[in-house]
Amino acid sequence: MLEPVPGPRGGLALRCGRALLSPWARLALLVLLLASGAGAMVLYEPHRMLASGWPPQVSGGAAVGVFAVAYGVCSAAFVPRPLMSMAAGALFGSAAGLAAAIAGTVIGAGISFVLVRALGQDALRPLLRGRWLKAADGQLSRHGFRSMLALRLFPGIPFAAANYCGALSQMRYAPFLLATGIGVVPNTAAYVIAGSTAASPTSPVFLAATGFIVLSGVVGVFVAWRKRHRLRGAAARR
């Protein structure tokens, strides 16, 4: 029995559906979502929490949980993590602030990973044609956990850039989140402690936290420079 041939309307609907689900259409949606999130954060100005404090209607463990979710959304929308980590320390102290900041970091990384993997990977992966890009992609795809852990440990690499690199590679979701949660602990702790002791800028704890931030930044830049040359060498050998 012959199948019915779709009419003009059915054919048009089918073509429109394919166009809307195409890789470039999904990439355009991703760009729109990221731009909208960044614009919303500029208008909302979450850094005001450092001056005005947390709303008194939410307190205790609920406040820490709500802050962690807000931290994750803000970090996915390009709000600088050091600012949010210092706010966590100033609002909740070192212990609770660190827990909120780590949880928020993992949430934000997960949001970015899912969005880029679902909406941008199919369109952007074919563009990874340069030797350096292919070497970096291969490193993340084959050694996802340890490579992402290294990216998180060194603060010279932007948080969003590491998210997108992981999502565009072939690494799995669980190693990505685990490496993120472990790798951001040292630097995040320094910012949280700095925020919790900001009222006493001459205290040994504040000075030690600030010194660690500066030292880790210098080390991160040096290691990134060395890693770049190693990746170039690996690409040249291939």
Percent of the chain with pLDDT over 90: 26
Tell me if 165 sits within 8 A of 151, measured CB to CB.
Answer: yes
Distance (Å, whole) CA 74 – CA 85: 11
Predicted local distance difference test score (pLDDT) of residue 111: 94
Predicted local distance difference test score (pLDDT) of residue 34: 80
* Mean pLDDT, rounded, for 40-58: 66
Q: What is the 3-state secondary structure (H, E, C) of the chain?
A: CCCCCCCHHHHHHHHHHHHHCCHHHHHHHHHHHHHHHHHHHHHHCHHHHHHHCCCCCCCHHHHHHHHHHHHHHHHHCCCCHHHHHHHHHHHHHHHHHHHHHHHHHHHHHHHHHHHHHHHCHHHHHHHCCCHHHHHHHHHHHHCHHHHHHHHHHCCCCCHHHHHHHHHHCCCCHHHHHHHHHHHCHHHHHHHHHHHHCCCCCCCHHHHHHHHHHHHHHHHHHHHHHHHHHHHHHHHHHC
* Mean pLDDT, rounded, for 162-179: 90
**φ/ψ (deg, to 5) at 34:** -65, -40
Confidence of residue 38 (pLDDT cuts 50, 70, 90): confident
* Mean pLDDT, rounded, for 49-75: 79
As given in the structure block, the two tokens for residue 193 are 């402690």
pLDDT tens digit sequence for 1-10: 445 555 555 5
> Where is pLDDT greater, at 55 or 51?
55
Distance (Å, whole) CA 62 – CA 188: 21
Confidence of residue 177 (pLDDT cuts 50, 70, 90): very high
CB atoms < 10 A from the CB of 149, how many?
A: 18
pLDDT tens digit sequence for 81-120: 998 999 999 889 999 999 999 999 999 999 999 988 888 7
Distance (Å, whole) CA 229 – CA 84: 33
Residues in the chain: 238
Residues contacting 176, CB < 8 A, separation 6+: 109, 113, 144, 148, 166, 167
As given in the structure block, the two tokens for residue 15 are 């073509």
**Would you kindly state where each structural domain of the chain is located, as residue ranges?**
27-36+56-237
Provide the mean pLDDT of the chain. Answer: 79
Instruction: State the amino acid at position 148 in one-letter form.
Output: M
Predicted local distance difference test score (pLDDT) of residue 154: 77
